[in-house]
Structure 1
Amino acid sequence: MPMKRPAPSPSHSAARRFVRSEDGAVAFTLSRAPMGIFVERVQFRQGRGRVTHAAIFTDDTSFERWCDADSVRFDYPLVHINLKRHGNNLLRRE
Structure 2
Amino acid sequence: MSRTVRKAADRLAVASLGCSRDPLSGPVLQAHGHKGTIQFLLQGTPGGLYVERDECPTHGVRTIQSLLFAERDEFLRWCDEDPVLFEHPLLHERLQRTGLERWDPEPGPCERTALR
CA RMSD of aligned residues (A): 2.0
Compute the TM-score of the two structures, normalised by the length of structure 1: 0.79
1:30-64 Cα shifts (integer Å, max 9, x gaps): 01111111000011022323101110012111000
Q: State the partner residue of 2:68.
A: 56
Q: Distance in 1 between the 2:29 and 2:58 partners?
A: 19
1:1-42 Cα shifts (integer Å, max 9, x gaps): xxxxx9633xx5xx6111111436110000111111100001
Compute the TM-score of the two structures, normalised by the length of structure 2: 0.65
Tell me whether 1:72 sits opposite 2:92 in the alignment.
no
RCO higher in 1 or 2 (8 Å CA, sep ≥ 6)? 1
2:62 is paired with a residue whose SS is strand
Q: State the partner residue of 2:59.
A: 47
- Structure (1 or 2) with the larger CA radius of gyration: 2
Q: Distance in 2 between the 1:71 and 1:26 partners?
A: 11
Moved over 4 A (4+): none
Q: State the partner residue of 1:3.
A: none
Q: What amino acid maps onto 1:52 in structure 2?
A: I
1:49 is paired with a residue whose SS is coil
Please, which runs of 5 or more residues in structure 1 have no aligned partner? 1-5
Q: Distance in 2 between the 1:27 and 1:56 partners?
A: 16
Q: Number of paired residues?
A: 85
Please, which runs of 5 or more residues in structure 2 have no aligned partner? 1-19, 107-116
Q: Percent identity?
A: 29
Q: State the partner residue of 1:20.
A: 30
